[in-house]
Amino acid sequence: MDAAIVDGTAHLTTMIRGMLAAGSWQDRRGTNLLDGGCPFYGVYATSDGGHMAVGALEERFYAEFVRLLGIGEEAAATRYDLARWPELREAVAKTFLGRTRQEWTDVFDGSDACVAPSSPGRGPVPPAPGRPRHLHRARRAGPAGPRTPLLRHPRHPAYGPRPARCRHRRGRPRLGRTLPAPPGDFRMKRRIYTEDHEAFRAVVRTFLEKEVLPHYEQWEKDGIVSREAWLAAGRQGLLGIAVDEEYGGGGNPDFRYGAVLAEEFTRAGTPGLALGLHNDIIGPYLTSLATDEQKRRWLPGFCSGETITAIAMTEPGAGSDLQGIRTTAEDRGDHWVLNGSKTFISNGILADLVVVVARTTPEGGAHGLSLLVVGAARRASSAAATSTRSARSPRTPPSCSSTTSASPRRTCSASSTAPSST
What string of DSSP letters covers 197-217?
HHHHHHHHHHHIIIIIHHHHH
Instruction: Say whether pLDDT at 215 is over 90.
Output: yes
Q: Would you call 282 exposed, middle or buried from its count of C-beta atoms within 10 A (0-12, 13-18, 19+)?
A: buried
Q: What is the mean pLDDT of residues 86-101?
A: 91
47-to-102, 150, 162, 171 alpha-carbon distances in Å: 10, 41, 48, 59
Q: What are the tens digits of pLDDT across the range 99-112?
A: 999 999 899 987 88
228-to-144, 212, 234, 299, 354 alpha-carbon distances in Å: 83, 10, 10, 18, 20
CA 199 to chain centre: 30
Q: Per-residue confidence at 342, pLDDT binned at 50, 70, 90?
A: confident
The lowest-confidence range among 273-282, 344-353, 387-396 is 387-396
Question: Does 387 or 76 have the greater pLDDT score?
Answer: 76
CA angle 266, 256, 210 (to 5 degrees): 45
Residue 355 near residue 407, CB atoms below 8 Å: no
DSSP string for residues in 274-328: -HHIIIIIIHHHHHHHS-HHHHHHHHHHHHHTSS-EEEE--BTTBSS-GGG---E
The lowest-confidence range among 29-38, 224-233, 276-285, 353-362 is 29-38
- Residue 158: per-residue pLDDT: 46
Q: What are the tens digits of pLDDT across the range 222-247?
A: 889 999 999 999 999 999 999 999 99
Query: How far apart are the C-alpha atoms of 82 and 104, rounded to whole Å?
Result: 26
Question: Does 136 or 64 have the greater pLDDT score?
Answer: 64
Q: Are strands 309-312 and 353-359 parallel, antiparallel or unpaired?
A: parallel
Q: Per-residue confidence at 155, pLDDT binned at 50, 70, 90?
A: very low
- Residue 138: per-residue pLDDT: 41
Q: What is the mean pLDDT of residues 275-287?
A: 94
- Residue 140: per-residue pLDDT: 43
For the ranges 72-81, 110-119, 284-293, the one whose mean pLDDT is highest: 284-293
- How would you label 229-268 residue by residue, b for 16+ Cβ within 10 Å and e otherwise? bbbbbbeebbbbbbbeeebbbbeeeeeebbbbbbbbbbbb
Q: What is the mean pLDDT of residues 105-122?
A: 78
- Residue 113: per-residue pLDDT: 84
